[in-house]
Amino acid sequence: MMKPTNILSSFLIATLSLAPVAAFAQNSNQGFTQQQVTDMVWTAVKTEIAAANNDHSVFIFHDHDIQPQKNKYTIVIQTTSHGSLNRITQLNGQAVPIQQQSAKIDNFVNSPALQQKQRQSSRNDAQQTEQLLKMIPDAFLWSVTNVTPREVTLSYKPNPDFNPPTMEDRVFAAMAGEMVLDREQNRIVVFKGRLIHNVNFFWGLLGHMNQGGTFCVVRKELEPYVWEIVETRVHINGHILFFKTISQNEDDYDTDFRPAPPNISLEDAAKIVMEQPDWPNAPGTHDPAAPEGTGACSSH
């Protein structure tokens, strides 16, 4: 089960007859045709969509979310059918009293309306993620920049012939950056980009998004063929008339993943999450100030 991000929503066994990334190993010192590169990206996109629809693994993990005026530590437990429970243990440098933590968990467990709201939000995130993934191969011009035995790195820039169908897609399609793919499994390891020019809506009358905004998502294989987002950084600013100022400035790190019991009720999940040692001060937990990972986002 993949945790969505705010702007891309979250990420992402191809079944079509596209050549997998591993098939290009023998040509790693030669030039790729544009069709080969596009097929490579499509294979990864279709693999991610299939995995998102078929992966029902669940985890307990620690989440450290940093936004303007908000620094939040959360213990998260996922369930197979009922969504996830989020136990906020520290907010803006202050420990959240355990009674308050428990009350919030109980409120969610006993509120069908809150549960339905979370399910609807997850469905919306999944739909937006799939829409963006399907747009990736055609929205950009792709080229291979590096090949190693384990990964292939591709750079991308806007495709001038692509016509984004929505305002959100216009922002996404104005990005340039790189994507790193796992060659064996055709999975997206890193996806990052920078807004290379301002995006105006209706000639700027309805708003704009500012050049220089960035996003970066890092994913990691936690179990064989099970991937999760472990790092997300989004820094995009602008102004749209109907929504006033848009400010998406967030760094999110997920650590200390452990498998959660499958097919448990929300009541049992609540007991488990409340039994966890406090975070971030529990001995043996990962220090979120120095998150593990590839360092792939540090260049942004």
More confident residue, 15 or 181: 181
Residue 3 belongs to a domain: no
With beta carbons less than 8 A apart as the criterion, state whether 272 and 84 touch: no
Domain membership of residue 190 as a residue range = 21-274
In a domain, 7, yes or no: no
Q: Residue 26 domain-assigned?
A: yes
Please state the rounded mean pLDDT for residues 69-98: 94
Assign 123 to helix, strand or coil. helix
Q: 79 versus 29: which is more confidently predicted?
A: 79
Residue 204 has pLDDT above 70, yes or no: no
Any domain includes 76: yes
Q: How confident is the model at residue 19 (pLDDT cuts 50, 70, 90)?
A: very low
**Average pLDDT of the chain, as a whole number:** 81
Q: How many CB atoms lie within 10 A of CB 13?
A: 10
- Split at pLDDT 50, 70, 90, the class of 205 is very low
Residue 188 in domain: yes
Number of domains in the chain: 1
* Predicted confidence (pLDDT) per residue in 275-288, tens digit: 999 999 877 777 65
Q: Please indicate, yes or no, if residue 16 is contained in any of the structural domains.
A: no
Q: What sign results for the dihedral spanned by CA atoms 129, 248, 114, 273?
A: positive
**Could you tell me what percentage of the chain is helix, strand and coil, using 3-state DSSP and rounding each to the nearest 5?**
30, 35, 35
Q: What is the DSSP letter of 295?
A: -
